[in-house]
Amino acid sequence: MALVGEAILGAVFGQVFAVLYDRVKDFRNKGRKFNSTLEKLESNLEILNPVVEEIKELNEELDGRKDEIKRLIDQMKKADECIRKCSKIKLWQRAFKTKYGGELTKLNEAIESFCKVDMPVQIKRDLLELKKICSEKKPVGVGLLCSVPPPPKFIVGLDEPLKELKTMLLKEGKEESLLLVTAPGGCGKTTLVIKLSQDKDIEGKFGKNILFAVISKTPNPKDIVQKLFHHVGLMPHFQSDEDAVNHLQQLPKQIGSNPILLILDDAWPGSETLLEEFKLHMPDSKILVTSRTAFPRFSFMYELKPLKDADAKTLFLHSASLQDRSSSITDENIEKMLKVCGGFPLALEVIGASLRRQSAEVLLSKMKNWSNDDIIPNPDLRKRLRRSLEFSDPKFKECFTDLGSFPEDQRTYAAAFIDMWAELYNLDEDGVDAIAILQELTIWHLASLVMTRKDESKFSRYYNEDFVTQHDLLRKLAISESRQEPIEEMERLIMDIRENKLPSVYTKQKQPTNARLISISTDKSFKSSWCNIQAPNVEVLVLNFQSEIYSLPEFVEKMDKLKAVIITNYGFFHAELINFQLLKSLSNLKRIRLEKVSIPSLFKAPIWLRSLKKLSLFMCSFGQAFGNSTMKVKDALPNLMEINIDYCNDLVKLPAWLCDVILLEKLSITNCHQLSALPKGIEMLENLEVLRLRSCTELSELPDSIKSLQKLRFLDISDCLGIRNLPKDIGELRNLEELHMKGYVLNVNLRNGLPQSTEKLKQLRLVICDDEERAKLWEPFKEVLNNLEVRIVEKEISLSWLELKS
């Protein structure tokens, strides 16, 4: 209610001001002779007018500034009443002076005080608070690390299970604090509990205290507890799993009066003790667990059954787009396919989707090819699902198989696939082809691509925040597809190393493998005891790990054909790479992507990467990485053309050597909230075409020297709260085609307009903003900029642009 009240207060302020403003102007237009008080009032209202909407939005966005706003509203109401009454009196001046002059004098004084004192302080305070919110927000996605993910768009057959499970969950009593939902894989357990969390009665009881975490096959209790505490705004550093679990009972004290519903998804055999340790000693709090195993130690259990025939048919027809099917596709054909799917939602979606967009003849042929053997119960579903991998384009199957390169139960950023597939399959550099493939795999229900931002134009194709998830059964299917040949002939090696136990098939390798892709995933207990893999043809190396100190495999320096390295730390804190210099001798290495890595460790020794074209740093820690760096870029990185730095919260300044990367064409720095300035000498980047500075909240200005970037075609300064003016010589960017200025950029100085040199931007085709006032800034230039489109997009009032999935 408090938030609603603040929003209403902001709206009232805008409405009252508009009425008074119109009343004063109307009074003047009727030919009345103003005395000095009314003239001053009109002048003050003119000053206040350009920022009224600004104040209103800031008031709604944050907690509001009730005292200052309410006082001014009261004064404006009284003044409006004065002028309204005066307009009805013939001898208005005398009446005005004797009866109402004092009220308008008080209003003038209040407006002058507000404009000179309250308004600058309020706006500065609000901007500082916005910056604080930005800096405190961690890159954790649409929601927070432990927010419940969204459910599938199309769900059937869960009404009865939802009702039964809800009844069990809402029962009072400590003895029922842990509830287990069990069913085979692909039966819809996760969908059920996600949908349950959205029930109004469940939300009414637990409020915002509904938390979601994945246990998985190799649970990491410390990371799970870290995420739970992070969800409530705390960042403790636990020494061990035991330390984390011991501190878990402090969580209820931090989360408020409502009880907690903790959903622990995908628990595997052996997790029973861990699940009991997660019990929260708080009245009415519940733990809801999903598992394929019916743990006998837990008495309160709900068994989810496969879909009933009618629901299974509905889901299958929807997935296959057969609601209006041809008469040649008989009910007998459909019934056979339903038996093959066995009522498992995953099978119904994947197998159904594999029949989508097919002619009646192809559908009939495929349905006939499913033998009676396929109807034999098969709990893991992989045999049935494999039959659906019949792509018209072989590249789609290759890309599906590549999805197994990343860990289960984790989100993989689309940018990683873009880098991988650009080198393996020569796909385009900007990622359009890779995103199209991921979208196609999503249509086939073989993966799920989540696009976090709208694609507004060709230059907006920046996919570093988009991510992919995949059901673990489909990941296992992808891995099994990669292992159809002997190890020496496999095109990709996908290794999951658990507890320092290397698979014997790799340790006993006698001949070099022909693999072009190697993926190695390790858990937190891995101690870097590598086997000696011989892989001379590897072009892409994917390393996934969870430890805070990580050593690259020594065999990497022998991979002469290596073109792309993707290193991802899935642990909670940043990791140190202790031998990154192994990469320096790789003459063909073109792409490096690092995620959640400590950058200072990379500069302990000289790095020579002469072929490197693209460097991506995501959620990395910079520390003092560039403090003493004397890197000679012309020698070390002579061919670097693209740098992406995203969500690196401690990046304060860019290195001076950046300006020596003279071939650089794309520089993207987003959500780096401590970055305060661009480096001196940025004009040296004479080949720069794309400059993306989105959500760098401490960045106070664009340097005047930016005018020298004559090849610059795209500039994005959206949500750079500190930038209040464009450079006076912005018009010198003669090749600028697109400018993004969404969010609170230029907010304080809107009334100053744009620099006069703006009229020289003859190539400017598109300006994107999310505010009418910013759009109006361009009105005076539309006659000279004939082809300019000013597009107003939906405003992200919720500040969701600050959040990123992890």
Q: Percentages helix, strand, coil for the chain, rounded to the nearest 5?
A: 40, 15, 45
Nearest 5°: phi and psi at 57?
-70, -40
Residue tagged 């339903």 (tokens) = 338
Count Cα neighbours of 232 within 13 Å in the Cβ-side half-sphere.
18
Pick from 266, 215, 268, 275: which is nearest to 245 by CA? 275
Q: How confident is the model at residue 526, as a pLDDT?
A: 83
Distance CA 77, CA 75 (A): 5
Q: Which amino acid is at 213?
A: A
Convert 14-49 to b/e letters by CB count within 10 Å (16 or more is b).
Answer: bebbeebbebbeebeeeebeeeebbebbeebbeebe
Instruction: Give the 3-state secondary structure of residue 726.
Output: coil
Give me the pLDDT at residue 788, please.
94
Using alpha carbons, select from 332, 334, 337, 329 the residue that is nearest to residue 372: 337
Based on C-alpha coordinates, what's the Rg of the chain?
31
In degrees and rounded to multiples of 5, residue 255 shows phi and psi of: -110, -5
What does the alpha-carbon distance between residue 488 and residue 476 come to, in Å, rounded to a whole number? Answer: 21
The Cα–Cα gap between 103 and 81 comes to 10
Domains 483-621 and 641-806 share a fold: yes
Tell which residue, 563, 565, 561, has the closest CA to residue 553: 565
Tokens of 378: 């098969």
Tokens of 36: 């000095």
- Residue 89 identity: I
Residue 533 near residue 509 (C-beta atoms within 8 A): yes
For 665, the token pair is 């064409």
* Residue 585: partners with Cβ closer than 8 Å, 6 or more residues away: 557, 608
Could you tell me which of 598, 709, 687 has the C-alpha nearest to residue 648? 598
Indicate the SS3 state at residue 588.
coil
pTM of the model: 0.80
Question: Could you tell me the CATH superfamily of domain 641-806?
Answer: Ribonuclease Inhibitor (3.80.10.10)
- 744/204 Cα distance (integer angstroms): 35
Name the residue among 523, 488, 483, 537 with its Cα closest to residue 508.
Answer: 488
Contact 673, 696 (CB under 8 A): yes
**In Å, how far are 86, 92, 93 from 100, measured between CA atoms?**
8, 10, 10
Of residues 741, 730, 625, 733, the one with CA closest to residue 685: 733
Q: Do residues 402 and 427 make contact, with C-beta atoms less than 8 angstroms apart?
A: no
User: Would you call 687 exposed, middle or buried from its count of C-beta atoms within 10 A (0-12, 13-18, 19+)?
Assistant: middle
719-736 exposure pattern, b = at least 16 Cβ within 10 A, e = fewer:
bbbbbbebbeebbbbeeb
DSSP assignment of 431-500 equals: SHHHHHHHHHHHHTTS-EEE--S---SGGG---TT-EEE--HHHHHHHHHHHTSS-TTT-SEEEEEEBTT
Domain made up of 483-621: CATH architecture: Alpha-Beta Horseshoe (3.80)
Angle 101-113/66-86 helices, nearest 10 degrees? Answer: 150
Nearest-angstrom CA–CA distance, 69 and 122 = 10
d(CA 46, CA 61): 25
d(CA 296, CA 198): 29
Give one DSSP letter per residue of 684-718, joined into a string: G-TT--EEE-TT-TT-----GGGGG-TT--EEE-T
Q: Residue 271 corresponds to which amino acid?
A: S
Task: Report whether 226 contacts 236 (CB < 8 A).
Answer: yes
In order of 760, 766, 789, the CA distances from 783 in angstroms are: 12, 15, 12
Tokens of 769: 């903003």
Residue 441 near residue 353, CB atoms below 8 Å: no
Nearest alpha-carbon partner for 313 in 301, 327, 331: 331
Alpha helices for 538-655 (secondary structure H): 633-636
Q: Under CATH, to which class is 159-303 assigned?
A: alpha beta
pLDDT confidence of residue 173? 61
**Beta-carbon-side half-sphere exposure of residue 483 (alpha carbons within 13 Å):** 13
- Mean per-residue pLDDT pooled into runs of 10, the chain (806 residues): 41 68 66 59 65 56 55 73 68 54 70 60 54 46 64 92 92 75 93 94 89 86 84 79 85 77 90 83 85 86 94 93 72 84 92 82 74 55 79 88 93 96 93 94 93 74 90 92 87 87 68 90 81 88 92 90 96 88 90 92 74 95 71 83 93 88 95 90 95 92 93 94 89 96 72 86 93 87 91 61 34
Element at 568 (helix H, strand E): strand 564-569
* Nearest CA-CA partner of 356 in 316, 393, 385: 316
- From first CA to last CA, the distance across the chain in angstroms is 31
Q: Where are the domains of the chain?
A: 2-136, 159-303, 309-386, 396-468, 483-621, 641-806
Instruction: Identify which of 646, 694, 235 has the alpha carbon closest to the alpha carbon of residue 467.
Output: 646
Cα–Cα distance, 170 to 177 (Å, whole number): 10
CA distance 792 to 766: 11
Question: Which residues are CB-contacts of 604 (< 8 A; sequence separation ≥ 6)?
Answer: 581
Q: How do strand 412-413 and strand 467-469 relate by DSSP bridges? A: antiparallel
Q: DSSP assignment of 171-188, as one string?
A: ---GGGSEEEEE--TTSS
Neighbours of 89 (CB within 10 A): 13
Token pair recorded at residue 602: 């990379």
